[in-house]
Structures are given as structure tokens and as C-alpha cells.
Amino acid sequence: MPYRFLFATGIENSIPTINNGRVRMDEFEKCGHYKYWQKDFELVQELGIRFLRYGPPIHRTFLGENKYDWSFADETFQDLRKRKIVPIVDLCHFGVPDWIGNFQNPDFPRLFAGYAAAFANRFPWVQLYTPVNEMYICAIFSAYYGWWNEQLTTDLSFVTALKHIVKANVLAMQEILKVRPNAIFIQSESSEYFHAENPKAIKPAELMNARRFLSLDLNYGKRVESEMYEYLMDNGMTREEYHFFTSNNLKRHCIMGNDYYMTNEHRVAEDGSTRASGEIFGYHTITSQYYDRYRLPIMHTETNMQEGPSGDAAANWLWKQWANVMRVRNDGMPILGFTWYSLTDQVDWDSALRENNGNVNTLGLYDLNRNIRAVGKAYKQLIIDWQDVLPMQSVCLTVPIVYPDRGDMESSNVLNHKRRRNKRSVEDLFQAGKINDNDPLR
């Protein structure tokens, strides 16, 4: 039975470092997942969710080049498979092991590709991946805002982090495809927009709105606009490095994941400074901009909201995001899934993980005692209401996903004869989405 619509959640596994690398902000630890992982998987099933954004903690698993500790991953992924929960495997979520250092390390892409290959070989039944989560946000928070990891604040450091992160993602996809030729990659990326607050702010806002696309432009092998090309060249990217991205286009294996939060839209002042604008355009309008640019199947891969003093703010936000998903769909764009992120409350995201305060953020479907929140009940009902309706709608595409318990049959040894048939599986989705065959992005 093919999966028609991907209702998902995630277990937060961010691990950036702060305080010049001295403090690791490990959300698995803060949220109690290392202790309660079995219970967390039970909660996923309790909600009727079949897809889980999840990954092993890279800093505890990747101990050195060709050196791994798979003990936690073996336990958790075996359990996911037994429960028939389909993981969307998140291999790098905002941080790297101490021995790699940070995203300025030019060896990171090669090392990470080796880690991805090792994971794929150990778990060949896994099909869905987000190799590097939110590449743009990872680079800008680490190397432009100075918040995480290298904590640098220049255009040079931002471009350096970005080219290493995206190259790591591309190389990881290549390695995974060697093991699992029908792997599908869901690029969870923040969908941003920058609003000029007065005429003098138009120019800096335009630059920011061009820069927001850089991670996906490079990842999908799209030639960047001339101003962004000069920006990359002026800040340390070589022609050879740029040509790597334009000549390694794996777009046909990808679904474009768009994350949207209340904080994704910004007001830009004439001096280039920004502040939160709140929701102005919303998910539908901004996602439409990304779809027009890349012409890929879409998944809403992250959203959440604080529960609020009255207890209904998160449930109301869920309804609003779902209404936006339906509007995207009704406008003829091929949207394949929706995610409330995350399963449980999070910790210290009120400071964007810049401060180790232990503040609980009421963003989850469950609280940290694993009691269901109002938004959890609302999401469970939403899935019940819509899961049997959406497959009957022609614009909802069939995603060629294999059940976890059939993964051995789909391992690399068996799939070699299917390479030609499966390598364009996501390309088939483009066709089902009625994208013009002459589209230059094809």
C-alpha cells in the first residue's frame, strides 16, 4: 500500500555548541529522550503518526574518522522498524562532534559523507533522509549572527560555513544513493521573507531575500543570480567550488521541505538591521515563492507555537497552518506532507539555544512528563479527519515509500536491478504535479 500523505512529527535533536564550544545544547538530553525514547515512540503511535523526523545524536555516534558508536542508534532504529514508524533520518542538526570543531572546517563535507555512508550501510532499510537540517539557518546562526558553534559574524565566515554545509549535504546524498538507489531526500529548510519597513530599506531587504535562497540554489544545482554570484566570489567561494554545485544536481531525488514559524518573517531597517515582523504573508505565500523557484514536490516540515496562557494558541496555529497547506494544495502545487515539530516540549528555544537556562518551551504535542497537550489532541483528530480524504484528491501524489519491515528486500543488493526504474521516482512526482516539461529547472 503506497503512502499518500505524510503526517509527521519529530523528536528535537539539535546539538549546537555555545560559549566558544564549551557547552553543548543537546535537546535529546534536555527533553529526556535518552531516558524515555521508548515512551516517545509509543506516543508517536498513539497519535496515529507513521512518519517521524528523527536521527542519531551525531556527537555521540561519530567518534572519529571511520569510528562509530552505534549502540543507541541500533536500539532506537530497531524499535522504530518493529513499530513500522517510517523515519525521516536527520543526520546533522545544527552541530558537529567536538573533534570536527565547527562548520569552518574544510574537512567537514568529506567526513560527513563518510558518516552518512556508514549509517546507510548499517541501516539499509531506511529510505527517507534529511542529511543536514536547515542548512541556511545553520550557517547564518553559526557564522553570521555569531550565536552557535564557530560564533563568527562576517560574510566570509557565513559563505565558508554555507559552502561546507551544502557540500556535505550533496556528498551525503551521493553516498546514500550508492546504498539505497531509491532514497528520497526531504530538505527541511526555513522559508524566510524580509520586509522593507521604508524605501531606504528596500535594497538591504532585497539582498536578504536573495541570500535566503542560497542553500537550496547550491543544493539543487541552480545557477545563482549575478549579485549573489559576486557575493559568493567576494567572500571566499572559488569557481571550482561553485562548479561543484552546478554539476552535482540530485534534484530528481528530492522533496522540498519548507519550515514556517511566526519568526520566519522579518522587518528590515535602512541600516540592514532586522527584527521580527510576525506573520505577514504566511506559509502559503512564501512557500509559493520557493515552489516557483524550484518546482519540486513540497512538504511542510516544521512548525509549532507556544501553548499560551489560555491553552489554545498552539491548536489555533495548527489549524491556521493546515489551512495554508490546503490552500497550497488547492492552488495546484504538489504538497505531500505536514509536520508538527516536535513531539514533546523543547528547552531553551526561547533564546534560540543561545543560553543554557533550562527554560521549558510549551511547543510540543506532549509536555515533558509525556502528557498530551491540546494541540496533540487536535493533531490526532486532524489526522483522523483527513488521512482517508486526501488520497482521493488527484493533486495528492503517491510517494514511492517502502514499509520499514520490507527494507531488507529493498537493500542495495536487491535494488541494483531497479536503479534505472527508481532513479527518477521523484521526477515522476513532478510529472504528476503537471509541471511543464520545458521548465528550465527540470
- Neighbour count for residue 338 (Cβ, 10 Å): 25
**Using omega within 30 degrees of 0 as the cis cutoff, is the peptide bond preceding 342 cis?**
yes
Question: Does position 411 have pLDDT exceeding 90, yes or no?
Answer: no
Is 205's pLDDT higher than 80? yes
Q: Over the stretch 111-149, which tens digit does the pLDDT of each residue have?
A: 999 999 999 999 999 999 999 999 999 999 999 999 999
- Residue 420 is predicted with a pLDDT of 45
Q: What is the pLDDT of residue 3?
A: 61
pLDDT (tens digit per residue) in 369-379: 999 999 999 99
- For the chain, give every domain's residue range: 6-432
Average pLDDT, the chain: 92
- The C-alpha torsion from 185 through 409 and 416 to 248, rounded to 10°, is 10
260, three cell numbers: 514556517
Q: Which of 265, 267, 256 is nearest to 286 (CA)?
A: 265
CA 23 to each of CA 31, 103, 138, 140: distance values in angstroms, whole numbers, following the listed order: 16, 16, 17, 19
Does residue 151 surpass a pLDDT of 50? yes
pLDDT > 70 in the chain, percent: 89
Looking only at the bridges linking them, the beta strands covering 17-18 and 51-54 are: unpaired
Is the pTM higher than 0.85? The answer reads: yes
Q: What is the pLDDT of residues 298-345, one digit of tens each?
A: 999 999 999 999 999 999 999 999 999 999 999 999 999 999 999 999
The neighbouring-strand residues paired with 7 are: 338
Residues 6+ apart with CB under 8 A from 367: 344, 345, 373
Q: Concatenated DSSP letters for 202-240? A: HHHHHHHHHHTTHHHHHHTTPPPPHHHHHHHHHTT--HH
Distance CA 304, CA 341 (A): 6
Residue-wise pLDDT for 423-437, tens only, equals: 444 545 445 544 343
Q: At residue 8, does pLDDT exceed 50?
A: yes
Provide CATH code, domain 6-432. Answer: 3.20.20.80
CA dihedral 99, 103, 104, 109 (to 10 degrees): 80
With contact defined as beta carbons under 8 Å apart, do 168 and 132 qualify? Answer: yes
The pLDDT tens digits for 349-405 are 999 999 999 999 999 999 999 999 999 999 999 999 999 888 655 444 567 888 787
